[in-house]
Amino acid sequence: MKAFLILEDGTVFTGTSIGSKREVISEIVFNTSMTGYLEVLTDPSYAGQAVVMTYPLIGNYGICREDMESYKAWPDGYIVRELSRIPSNFRSGDTIQHFLEEQDIPGISGIDTRALTKILREKGTMNGMITTNENFDCDEAVARMKNYSVTGVVKKTTCAEKYVLPGDGKRVALLDLGAKMNIARSLNERGCQVTVYPAATAAEEILAENPDGIMLSNGPGDPKECTDIITEIRKLYESEVPIFAICLGHQLMALATGADTHKLKYGHRGGNHPVKDLETGRVYISSQNHGYVVDMDTIKSETAVPAFVNVNDGTNEGLKYVNKNIFTVQYHPEACPGPLDSGYLFDRFLKMMEEGK
Q: Residue ranges for the binding site?
A: 45, 219, 221, 248, 251, 289, 291-292
**Binding annotation for L-glutamine:** 45, 219, 221, 248, 251, 289, 291-292
247 is catalytic: yes
Whole-angstrom Cα distance, residue 329 to residue 60? 32
Is residue 238 within 8 A of residue 323, CB to CB? The reply is no
What does residue 307 show for φ and ψ, rounded to 5 degrees? -110, -30
Which one, of 43, 36, 15, 13, lies nearest residue 117 by Cα? 13
Q: Return the half-sphere exposure (C-beta side, CA atoms, 13 A cut-off) of residue 279.
A: 6
332 is catalytic: yes
Calculate Rg over the CA atoms of the chain.
20
Whole-angstrom Cα distance, residue 263 to residue 297? 14
Is residue 2 within 8 A of residue 10, CB to CB? The reply is no
138 is catalytic: no
Is residue 186 within 8 A of residue 203, CB to CB? The reply is no
Q: Per the residue annotation, which of 192, 247, 268, 317 is the catalytic one? A: 247
Is residue 173 within 8 A of residue 187, CB to CB? The reply is no
Is residue 37 within 8 A of residue 210, CB to CB? The reply is no
Residues noted as catalytic: 247, 332, 334
